[in-house]
Chain A
C-alpha cells in the first residue's frame, strides 16, 4: 500500500525555519446587542516545538477566544478578529482564504476541548469519526481509515481498540472519551496542539492519566502544546512557560519556576495567594476583592486596577507597558518592583 501521509497540502509562503507559532497583537471583539465586548485586546504569544505553554486565566479573560481565533473557529458574527497576526511557520493564518485554513486545521494545528461528549457526534461510531479525518484530508479508503482509527485508539491506550472502534461515544467513560478526542487531534500528526481545559470535566485520578498521556505523546512527536486552563496545580505540573491573561490581555509571561516563586504582576501574585495552602489552614484565605470586569466596560489604564492592592493614580490613567524584566520574562504592571519586593 502506498504511503498517503506524504499528501500533506503545501501552504504558500511556509518557511520551516520560521517560529512554530507566533501570535502578534491579536484583537477580537464580539458585536452584540448590548454593545461591543472586547474579548481579546492585543495578545502576544509564541510557542516552540516540544514546548508546553500554559495560558492561565479565569472565566472571561479571553483565553478560549484566543485559541479559537488561532484555530479559525470563531463564530462570525458575533465575533470579529479586528487586528493582529497569527503566524504559523511564517504564514499569517488570518490572511488565508477559508479553503486554505481548512487544510491547516487538524493537519498542522489541532485542538481538543473540555467537553468531549458534546465535541463528538453521538450518532456515529468513534471509528467512523476518526476515520473521517483520513478520508477527508488524505483520501483514504473506508477500510483503511478504520484500520488507522483502531491504531490511533491503541496509541492513546484505549484497551481493546480493535473492538471499541465500532462503539458510539456514549459507550465510553469520560476519561476514555477524552482519549478519543486526543486521538482525533493527533490523527494527522499536527505540529501544534491546543488543549482547552482538557481535564476540567474529569476526576483527579483520570485527570492525572490524561495529563500523563498528553505529555508522553507530546514528547514522542515534539509537538508544541498550548494548554488553556484555570488550574494552577495542573500548570505547575506540566508547563514550561506561562502566559497569565486578564481582561483580554496577557499581563505576565514567564518560565514556570519563576512565576510561582516570584510573580511579577499584582494579579498573578493575588491569584497565587488565593489558593488554599496548608499553612493557611484556620485562617481566612487571601481574596481578590471585587469581580473580573465586564468585557463591554473594561476599566481604563490597567484593567486590574479596581481590584489591585498596589494600584495608584497612574494605574487608572495609563495602561502599563510590557516590561522585559529578565530573559523570557515580560510583565505589564506599573509597580513591578513593589510586587517583586525588590
Chain B
C-alpha cells in the first residue's frame, strides 16, 4: 500500500534498571496512512509517551522497525537519517517548558532550518517563519517576541508552527491540549484539524482525554503496560469495545450530562497498574480483570480479530459490551 506513511513492526523499548528492565514499549505494531489520525490512549505508564519519542527518534528502540515511507529509520544513519527525520515531527504537551524562554519566536520556529539548511524555502528564513505564524493563526509581526509574551494556547500554536517548518507528512502530538483550558483546547483542536485538511498531514495523536481523542481520530489504539490491547476505527472502539480494559476505561470517563448519572454502565477497576518492570505473565491486564481465568496467566492473548471481536483485540474472551450507550 503506497499511502502508508508510517509503520512500526515489533517496536520495543526496554529501559535497563538494576534488576532487569522496564518494558515501556513491548512489541507495538501501528500503521498510519496519509492524512489520517491515529489516536493512542492509555493511562500514565502505559508507554504512550515512550512510543512518541521512539517514533521521532528521541529514543533508540531495543528492537523492531520504524518505517517512514517504507524506509526503516532504525537502520538509517548519517545524511539519510537526517533527511528521513524531516518527515516526522512532534508537538509536545507543555507549551510552557517546551519553548526556550530566551529565544524569540522567530528563532524557535526557524531553528529547524538551522539544522536542515537545505530545507529553507527560497523566500528566506524570516519570510518562511512569518508564513508559518500566519498559518497557525498568530500575528506574523510578532516574530521578535518571546514565549512569555504569549498565552498558553498561543504558545501551543508556536509549537505547532515549529513542527510544520520542515513540511513533514507526519506529526506526533503528545498530549497537545491537556495543559490548556477547555475554551482554548477547542481552538487548538480546530487548528490541528484544519491543518490536516489543508496540508494532508497524518497525526499520531496521543492523549488521555478520551472525548478529545474520539473527536479527532479516524482510528484508535488502546495501550496497556507497553502493548496495544485493542485497535480499530473510532466507532469500533467507542461503540463496540471488546477488550475489558477498553470497556473499563470508557466507562470511567465522566460524561458532561447529569441525566446519565447512575444510569451508565460503570466498571470500577480495583487497584493500580502493575509495574512495567515486572508485568504479569500471560495477559498483562489479568490482575485487574473481572473476566480473568487461569488460562490468562499462561497464554498471552495476541492482538487479532476474534470470533466475537470484529476488530483486533488482545483478549481471550473478547466480546462486545457497549459501555457508552446514550453518550
Contacts and interface: CB of A to CB of B under 8 A. Distances in A.
A233 interface: yes
Contacts of A160: none
Contact of B261 (A237, A271, A280): A237
Contacts of A11: none
A101 to B, nearest CB: 32
Given A205-B43, A205-B249, A232 B215 contact: no
A276 B43 CA distance: 20
A203 B208 contact: yes
A237 B254 contact: yes
A278 interface: yes
Given A212-B268, A230-B181, A278-B214, A207 B252 contact: yes
Contacts of A203: 43-44, 208, 273
24 contacts: A58-B183, A203-B273, A204-B210, A204-B249, A204-B254, A205-B269, A207-B254, A208-B266, A208-B268, A233-B256, A235-B256, A257-B258, A260-B256, A271-B183, A272-B256, A274-B186, A276-B186, A276-B211, A276-B216, A281-B214, A281-B234, A284-B190, A286-B186, A287-B190
B189 A285 contact: yes
A270 interface: yes
Contact of A233 (B183, B254, B259): B254
**7 nearest interchain CB pairs?**
A233-B254, A276-B215, A203-B43, A288-B183, A285-B186, A58-B181, A208-B252
Nearest to B179: A59
B215 A204 contact: no
B253 A287 contact: no
Interface of B: 43-44, 151, 153, 181-187, 189-190, 193-194, 208, 210-212, 214-216, 234, 248-249, 252-261, 266, 268-269, 272-273, 327
Interface in A185-234: 203-209, 211-212, 230-234
A209 B153 contact: no
Given A204-B210, A204-B254, A284-B194, 7 more contacts: A233-B256, A236-B258, A236-B261, A274-B182, A278-B327, A280-B215, A287-B187
Interface of A: 58-59, 173-176, 203-209, 211-212, 230-237, 239, 256-257, 260-261, 270-272, 274-278, 280-281, 284-288, 291-292
Given A236-B255, A275-B182, A291 B44 contact: no
B47 to A, nearest CB: 14
A272 B212 CA distance: 14
B322 to A, nearest CB: 13
- The B contact surface, by secondary structure, is helix
A289 to B, nearest CB: 8
A287 B192 CA distance: 14
Given A236-B261, A276-B214, A288 B186 contact: yes
Contacts of B183: 58, 270-271, 274, 287-288, 292
A257 B261 CA distance: 10
Contacts of A211: 254
B182 A232 contact: yes
A287 B186 contact: yes
Given A204-B43, A233-B256, A173 B186 contact: no
B153 A291 contact: yes
Contacts of B273: 203
Contacts of B255: 233, 236-237
A217 B97 CA distance: 38
Given A271-B182, A275-B182, A291 B268 contact: no
Contacts of B193: 284
A316 to B, nearest CB: 20
B252 to A, nearest CB: 4
Contacts of B151: 291
B272 A173 contact: yes
A260 B194 CA distance: 29
Contacts of B272: 173, 175-176, 206
Contact of A204 (B153, B190, B208): B208
Given A234-B254, A236-B254, A256-B258, A285 B249 contact: no
B256 A232 contact: yes
Contacts of B257: 236, 260
A59 B212 contact: no
Given A203-B208, A233-B253, A287-B187, A209 B268 contact: yes
Nearest to A201: B44
Q: Which of B256, B257, B272 has the most CB of A within 10 A?
A: B256
A274 B256 contact: no
A292 B187 CA distance: 13
Contact of B190 (A59, A206, A285): A285
A59 B153 CA distance: 12
A202 to B, nearest CB: 9
A290 to B, nearest CB: 9
Contacts of B215: 276, 280-281, 285
A204 B327 contact: no
A270 B327 CA distance: 20
Contacts of A235: 256
Contacts of A278: 214, 327
B40 to A, nearest CB: 15
